[in-house]
């Protein structure tokens, strides 16, 4: 089979798998950001019991392989009466995993905001939560952008693991075409190029966001 014929056969399948990969990554990133922010707040606020549970969650998610977490959610939970389809199970596993890393990035960003910003906000009568929302969180987000972007790029690559629960994302789509054509090297190289392109696009987006936030901060320094 010529390279042109292989491309004609494989490209539509790989692009469909890429769409699933992007869907998994973006949905898990949005949900992970929301959950990660809550976890970071619980740890910073030192809420009794809740902060300890949040710390345990972060330790468990970061200390165990994502593949094991996927197996636990998809194959293990049915044993206690909770059965999920492959797509929701994949999204849940990726979300819980990335949220643990994002919570640490956000916690570091919040810790990086000068203590004087807290004092200034509280002195204006904002209260802890309003001070966090209007003063601290925007500055912490700017500081966290590089780390958050790295997590998203890593998440795009981690989506390949959900292929083990029969979700036809990019890696499983590649394997399906290999089974038809018996051309593993060019097809795996195609998949690698697609992953690299996705990572490159998000790297450029990261730099753009960093530039916009830096410009906004320079115009309105805290």
CATH number for the segment(s) 3-219: 1.10.3720.10
Contacts by 119-122 with C-beta closer than 8 Å and gap 24+? none
What residues contact residue 24 under an 8 Å CB cut-off, 6+ apart? 90, 91, 94, 159, 162, 167, 169
Instruction: Write down the domain spans for the chain.
Output: 3-219
pLDDT of the residue at 216: 64
- Token output for 58: 């972060």
**What single-letter DSSP state applies at residue 134?**
I
Burial of 45: CB neighbours in 10 Å, binned 0-12, 13-18, 19+: middle
Mean pLDDT of the chain: 88
> 173-208 pLDDT, tens per residue?
999 999 988 899 999 999 999 999 998 998 888 888
Q: Of 153, 139, 147, 160, nearest to 21 (Cα)?
A: 160
pLDDT of the residue at 190: 93
Cα–Cα distance list, 25 to 7, 59, 192 (Å)? 25, 22, 16
Cα–Cα distance list, 9 to 2, 17, 66, 174, 176 (Å)? 11, 14, 32, 11, 11
Instruction: Answer whether residue 13 shows pLDDT above 70.
Output: yes
What is d(CA 91, CA 25) in angstroms, rounded to the nearest whole number? 8
Distance of CA 147 to the CA centre of its chain: 11
pTM: 0.86
> 89-99 pLDDT, tens per residue?
999 999 999 99
């Amino acid at each position: 089979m010529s390279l042109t014929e292989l491309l004609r056969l494989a490209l539509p399948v790989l692009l469909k798998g890429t769409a699933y990969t992007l869907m998994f990554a973006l949905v898990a990133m949005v949900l992970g950001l929301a959950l990660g922010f809550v976890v970071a707040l619980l740890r910073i606020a030192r809420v009794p019991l809740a902060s300890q549970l949040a710390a345990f969650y972060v330790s468990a998610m970061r200390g165990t392989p994502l593949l094991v977490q996927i197996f636990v959610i998809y194959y293990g939970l049915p044993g206690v009466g909770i059965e999920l389809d492959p797509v929701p199970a994949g999204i849940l596993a990726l979300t819980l995993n990335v949220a643990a890393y994002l919570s640490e990035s956000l916690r570091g960003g919040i810790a990086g905001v000068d203590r004087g910003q807290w004092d200034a906000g509280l002195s204006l009568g904002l209260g802890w939560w309003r001070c966090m929302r209007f003063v601290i969180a925007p500055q912490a987000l700017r500081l966290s952008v590089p780390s958050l972007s790295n997590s998203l790029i890593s998440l795009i690559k981690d989506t390949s693991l959900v292929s083990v629960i029969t979700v036809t994302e990019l890696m499983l789509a590649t394997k399906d075409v290999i089974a038809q054509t018996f051309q593993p090297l060019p097809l795996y190289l195609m998949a690698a190029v697609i992953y690299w392109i996705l990572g490159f696009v998000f790297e450029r987006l990261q730099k753009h966001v960093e530039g916009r936030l830096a410009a906004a901060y320079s115009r309105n320094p805290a």
